[in-house]
Amino acid sequence: MKEFLPLREEAEERGRLIRAASERHAGPDEACKLIGSFLQSEIKMIEYIEANSARCGIPPEIVDRLKTGHQNTETMKIKVCKAAQETPSHDPSLSEILSGPKREPAGPVGDFGR
């Protein structure tokens, strides 16, 4: 497990960088690069666990959980990187990309009691 800890720490650090970018409303270009970097660290962890799970006594559920998380990260990367390739009138933040478009109210708005 000594070999696994640096892999996990690298993934955690890259995850913190993504959170920090989201909090400061980084543009999709930067977010795309950060998520790509995080994906690579996930792949290293998954490969290590798959190769050493029997020797280290790691339950198969752990590998399954990591793979599910990796699929979610891939989905997020596709969404964010697609937004980075588009040229909107303003650069949306990572949180705007993940939450989707803002919608206007369906009906009239205002003070109708007057």
**SS3 of residue 15 by DSSP:** helix
Over the stretch 50-83, which tens digit does the pLDDT of each residue have?
A: 998 888 888 889 889 999 999 999 999 999 999 8
Q: At residue 2, does pLDDT exceed 80?
A: yes
Q: Quickly list DSSP for 67-83.
A: HHHHHHHHHHHHHHHHH
Instruction: Give the pLDDT of residue 83.
Output: 86
Q: What is the mean pLDDT of the chain?
A: 84
- In a 10 Å sphere around its CB, with 0-12 CB exposed, 13-18 middle and 19+ buried, how is residue 28 labelled? buried
Count of all residues that appear for the chain in the document: 114
The yes-or-no verdict on residue 111 having pLDDT over 60 is no
